[in-house]
Amino acid sequence: MPQVTYVDHDGHETRVDVPLGENVMRGALYSGIEGIVGECGGGLSCATCHCYIDEDWIDTTGGPSSDAEAELLEQVATKLRPTSRLSCQIEITPALDGLVVHLPETQF
């Protein structure tokens, strides 16, 4: 099972196993990671699962997966960065084993 490391805004790292086919948001929610809310449940209708992809992983995860994701990213509560993504839109594949995501200070 691929592992994802979630780094909170204070620098604390939590590494969890996330099943293939799940997404980064659910991996956090199922593991009790604070910092991702996922208010819409991954329905691509809010921006409360905003995260920053670690620079070393940006080429693997790519940019926003759709125009809808890009539009929602414009509404995030914290600073938008070139590595910003909605974690509900990043599906876990074998290539993402070791993925590192950084969480913003707030989602609201």
Quickly list H helices, 1-43.
Answer: 24-30
Q: 6 with 28: CB under 8 angstroms?
A: yes
Which CATH homologous superfamily contains domain 3-102?
Beta-grasp domain (3.10.20.30)
Percentage of the chain exceeding pLDDT 70: 100
Residue 46 to residue 40: CA distance in whole angstroms? 6
Question: Beta strands of the chain (E only): which ranges?
Answer: 3-7, 13-17, 50-53, 84-86, 99-102
Query: What are the boundaries of each domain within the chain?
Result: 3-102
In this prediction, residue 62 carries a pLDDT of 84
* Predicted model pTM: 0.95
Q: Would you say residue 65 has pLDDT above 90?
A: no
The per-residue DSSP string of 67-85 comes to: HHHHHHHTT-SS---TTEE
So what's the pLDDT on residue 95? 97
